[in-house]
Amino acid sequence: MITLEYITLGTGILLMLMGIWGLFTQKNLIKIVIGFTLVDTGIHILMVSIGHIKNRTAPIIDDAVNASEAADKVVDPIPQAMVLTAIVIGLGITALMLTFVVKMAKDNNSLNVSNFKSLKW
C-alpha cells in the first residue's frame, strides 16, 4: 500500500537518481551543476521524510502543543535543523561551482565539458 512515507521517500530517491543521471550524461557544465543540485534536493527530501512521524505536528510549542506533552505530539526536530544547515551549505557549494564554471568558460571560451583537454589523461 502506498503511504505518504513511501511517496516522499520515493520522490527523494527519484530526484537523486535523476541528478546522478544528469551528472554522468550532460556535457554542458551548467547542466552538470543542475544535476548536482537535484541530488542535493533529493537528499533533503529524504532526510525530512525520515524525521516525519505520522499524525504529528511541527515542532513548535504553542496553543496546539503543550510543553508537557510535546514529546508525544511533535515530529523529530533534529533532521529539520540538519536540513536547514544542509540547504545553506548546498547553496554555498552551488555558488562556488558556478564561479568555477564562469572561470572555466572564460578561459576556454566553451561550456562543453569535452573541450577541457586538461581534464583528460
What is the binding site for another protein (CB under 8 A)? 3, 5-6, 9, 13, 16-17, 20-21, 24-25, 52-54, 58-62, 67, 70-71, 74, 76-78, 80-81, 84-85, 87-89, 91-93, 95-96, 98-100, 102-103, 105-106, 109
Q: Provide DSSP, 5-31.
A: HHHHHHHHHHHHHHHHHHHHH--BHHH
Which residue from 15, 2, 10 is spatially nearest to 50, judged by alpha carbons? 10
- CB 117 to another protein: min, Å: 18
To the nearest whole angstrom, how small is the minimum distance from the Cβ of residue 9 to another protein?
5
Among candidate residues 39, 44, 41, 69, the one with its CA nearest the CA of residue 57? 69
- Nearest to another protein of 24, 121 (CB atom): 24
Take residue 43 and report the three cell numbers written for it: 537528499
